[in-house]
Structure 1
């Protein structure tokens, strides 16, 4: 008999033997009857529990070939009902992962304020789910860092996780939203959770909750289920530290079921989700401060006065210290660069350093106390590695289009940033304006090169040899106010000497009510482009009074065939029926113009950024 402490893959069974999976005590034991038949092999009865279970052959031992065929059936079938489950009882799907995404999509509802007036969306119902999933004690035992905010909370959590991982700790990171794959939300030791583990934990939670569904206790909504799943994953994987990013707000967020985190932080606050959180910075700050807990140290970055007064007031009510962190001094990096691009990341890095230092101190782990040592001229080596190696998709990210062959055609580079609030538009504009320049000027004696310069060194021709043009690829969700976003973006870019030669407006490929790779995309004829046409109209009005700038000399093919792909075309903007249409047009432009370099800023929505990444990476 062989044993394994990880997820069993039946492929590892050997002929003539049996395989046992040891059940971790943190999982209940139960079994599902499964009948498996392999070509040229006799039928085998396997008793299995889909996760935290044991597999064993009970009749003629399975050969390696039969076992290899068995595994996909185990994944697809083991989550059926315990009594009489049959393969034909479920609708056929492309893969077990797609089936999980179908189930997850069914939980998506219109977001609403989580209070007692909303049946099924009450905050207190979360504790019923936690009890069902037997997570009460595991959550109490977790050493959690909790982070809320409007801007930078994902980056702050990423820095924090990277630092503590480099300190040697087993880390769990829960963030949102995902860009391409839902598994991005759950990171173990810096890597997305594997598909096998994700499916195992997903169906364990799903089936457990389904047993108790009623009119008074419906299935949790989309984000709530994902938060519960994160708690299950981190408890089962026995992480040393769990870093949790608040999904929306704070007070009623699903992550706020924790009673006593080790430390919590609030990143930069601004106007976002106002239909849910309130119309003033004070109201928004009040929701974010809902994560403060009595006896738990709290940190924040410099905030607008209205927001800071509310944060300080809430901290005072709970009799806890609220410390305002300082922007990280670049000289502490010893000439290295932060892993995340953008000057604003030094604010997030400063908060991450404070959170990590406090977590280490409060959990009894020795470390140089950076916060109290005013003479500290450098960071601990582990902190330095964590800050300089942190990585995160979709935020100040530069991706060259490898479909376009450099040297044969022009250059096409995407500058992706998921900015979607007025304040983040300012930050995005400053980053983009700086990144498209070949080199940064030395700052405080530290010379840094932009990623754009890095691309030049790796095959891209010098900007002086090619005619660079700046293109905006934009969309935002209908809950945002584009009249607050687009003017803010263009004004900030203009202040840095950057003017967009053209704006492209597209609908997102991913849709709010669907998750996963199996989504059926609407045909061009079925796409409602009224929102994109309104964005274009706003853009045209913004540029109507602008003085005519000198038109850059380009080959006439830059404008050629635009009207064949776009729905609405003008000199300064176009509406395309899909992202693939827009990207196809951009690629054609540089293929026909060897002297052309297109620098495309993709912003306005993290969903848009994720959709573009799917197509160009």
Structure 2
């Protein structure tokens, strides 16, 4: 819910070139999803969110399920709030432009932003001054189109090409994400957002593999492109140019807060990717660097930071992942492997190169996943892997937690 609001706010601020706008006369809602902070049912959550309603002040909402919509409408009627349900933005209104924030759900956020800004401009007497001759129903104002196509939201459907790789050295390459080590970052942490994240990741990686934007058509022979998808591998041959003869591998870098349910999140991610024909060859579970503490009163004591951090949660995520992949419990094998290797021992680089078909649960060799003791070590290890094998293109999906995504961006200096 909060992230939907932030996306709408990003669109709004881009319309007016402000870092942020504060609207006192209107309020908005996006799609109401289960949220452990606001209630146990959609009705309870909707009631919590409806607390923002102000008497006789317009409000906008995306389409809701019946349970949530009934609660919102009841509260709106009570306060005489004009509540309007906003449909997703029609692609045709973009005049050939593309929303800068990826994902089909952003069409709803864009529509909410448009409705909010128009209402705000009208109520402040600026709509006719700014867009007097504009046919609102047929054409969006130029400022709105500019905002929709340029808004940025870090950590949501964001692609970063690691600049430490020689193929990613230039800023142009980084923008077009066609290097050896590419991070796809999305702070999805609910089943619904995880599904949206998976669809975006699959679309982004397939688009990149089919047509690298940084290359002119003369740089390679499109007709000779050949791809073989096996267990997270995508082998490409771009004509006879060695640089573009890459083996692409999809890696999952995952962590989630313990209040989340990975037994829902991970299967949702895997099934959504599989439905698009994409598969992870390896999964890496790692603790976030960021910490959080629940403060219940002014006398709450915030514990001091410690260098030691238990990896028990990450190992539980790994066990769940291996169970999903192999369909059997591997607790004893993983526990034995972890005791042998220890938490300070990093896997050899060949772990990354082997595909899922080489996983042999019977002897614990080349498991489909691993646990790293820290995020900096993970990034360092990935960089070493791609440097060691220049024919490798590693596509890393970072998801499950905004803390994790933020920490990765910090390490990548973004």
TM-score bracket for this pair, using the shorter chain length: 0.7 to 0.9
Instruction: Quote the Cα distance in structure 2 between the aligned partners of 1:289 and 1:431.
Output: 30
State the distance in 2 between where 1:368 and 1:501 align: 56
| Aligned twin of 2:5 | 153
- Hey, what does 1:476 align to over in structure 2? 256
Give the SS at the match of 1:497: coil
Question: Are positions 1:427 and 2:193 aligned together?
Answer: no
Give the counterpart of 1:558 among 345, 350, 354: 350
CA–CA separation in structure 2 for the residues paired with 1:341 and 1:294:
35
Give the CA deviation at 1:359: 0.3
- Asked if 1 retains the 8 angstrom alpha-carbon contact of 2:161 and 2:168, the reply is no
CA contact (8 A) 1:430 1:493 kept: yes
Q: Is 1:315–1:321's contact at 8 Å kept on the other side of the alignment?
A: yes
**CA separation of 1:429/1:343 partners in 2, compared to 1, >3 Å: closer, same or farther?**
same
Q: Which runs of 5+ in 1 are unaligned?
A: 1-148, 166-170, 174-240, 244-260, 441-449, 547-555, 563-567
**Whole-angstrom CA distance in 2 between matches of 1:368 and 1:537:** 61
Determine the structure 1 residue equivalent to 2:332.
none
Match of 1:72 in 2: none
Match of residue 339, structure 1, among 92, 95, 100? 100
Structure 1 match to 2:173: none
Question: How far 1:596 moved relative to its partner?
Answer: 1.1
Q: For residue 393 of structure 2, what is the aligned residue in structure 1?
A: 597
Classify the secondary structure of the residue corresponding to 1:386.
helix
Task: Tell me how far apart the structure 1 counterparts of residues 256 and 14 of structure 2 sit (CA, whole Å).
Answer: 30
C-alpha displacement of 1:454: 3.7
Q: How does 1:447-466 map to 2 (within 5 A)?
A: 453-454=212-213, 464=236, 465-466=245-246
In structure 2, distance between residues paired with 1:478 and 1:427: 21
Alignment of 1:183-198 (within 5 A): none
How far has the Cα of 1:453 moved from its partner? 4.1
| 1:480 counterpart SS class | coil
Say whether 1:496 aligns with 2:276: yes
Higher helix share: 2
Deviates more, 1:327-336 or 1:356-365: 327-336
Q: Distance in 1 between matches of 2:216 and 2:319?
A: 39
Q: 1:615 aligns with which of 405, 411, 414?
A: 411
Q: Does the Cα contact within 8 Å between 2:283 and 2:368 map onto a contact in 1?
A: yes
Alignment of 1:573 onto 2:353: no
Gaps of 5+ in 2: 170-177, 226-234, 237-244, 295-302, 329-347, 355-363
In 2, Cα distance between equivalents of 1:354 and 1:309 = 21
d(CA) in 2 for partners of 1:560 and 1:607?
25
The reply to whether residue 438 of structure 1 matches residue 207 of structure 2 is: yes
Output the CA distance in 2 between the equivalents of 1:394 and 1:580: 18
> Is the contact made by 1:410 and 1:594 (CA closer than 8 Å) also made in structure 2?
no
Query: Structure 1 CA distance, aligned partners of 2:52 and 2:198?
Result: 31
Q: Matches of residues 238-249 of structure 1 in structure 2 within 5 Å?
A: 241-242=21-22
Residue 240 of structure 2: aligned partner: none
TM-score (norm 2): 0.76
Partners in 1 of 2:216 and 2:34 — Cα distance?
Answer: 39
Against the structure 1 CA distance between its residues 326 and 410, is the aligned structure 2 distance closer, same or farther, given a 3 Å change threshold?
closer
Cα 1:467–1:380, aligned 2, differ >3 Å: closer, same or farther?
A: same
Shift of 1:367: 4.1
Shift in Å at residue 545 of structure 1?
A: 2.6
Q: CA deviation at 1:159?
A: 0.4
Which of structures 1 and 2 has the bigger CA Rg?
A: 1
Taking CA–CA contacts closer than 8 Å with sequence separation of 6 or more, which of the two structures ends up with the larger relative contact order? 2
1:395-445 Cα shifts (integer Å, max 9, x gaps): 1000001111129997110000011111100111111111111269xxxxx
TM-score normalised to the size of structure 1?
Answer: 0.52
Match of 1:271 in 2: 34
**In the alignment, does 2:380 pair up with 1:584?**
yes
- Quote the Cα distance in structure 1 between the aligned partners of 2:287 and 2:252: 14
Q: Is the 8 A contact 2:118 2:127 kept in 1?
A: no
Instruction: String of CA shifts for 1:244-277, please: whole Å, max 9, x gaps.
Output: xxxxxxxxxxxxxxxxx311000111112x2x32
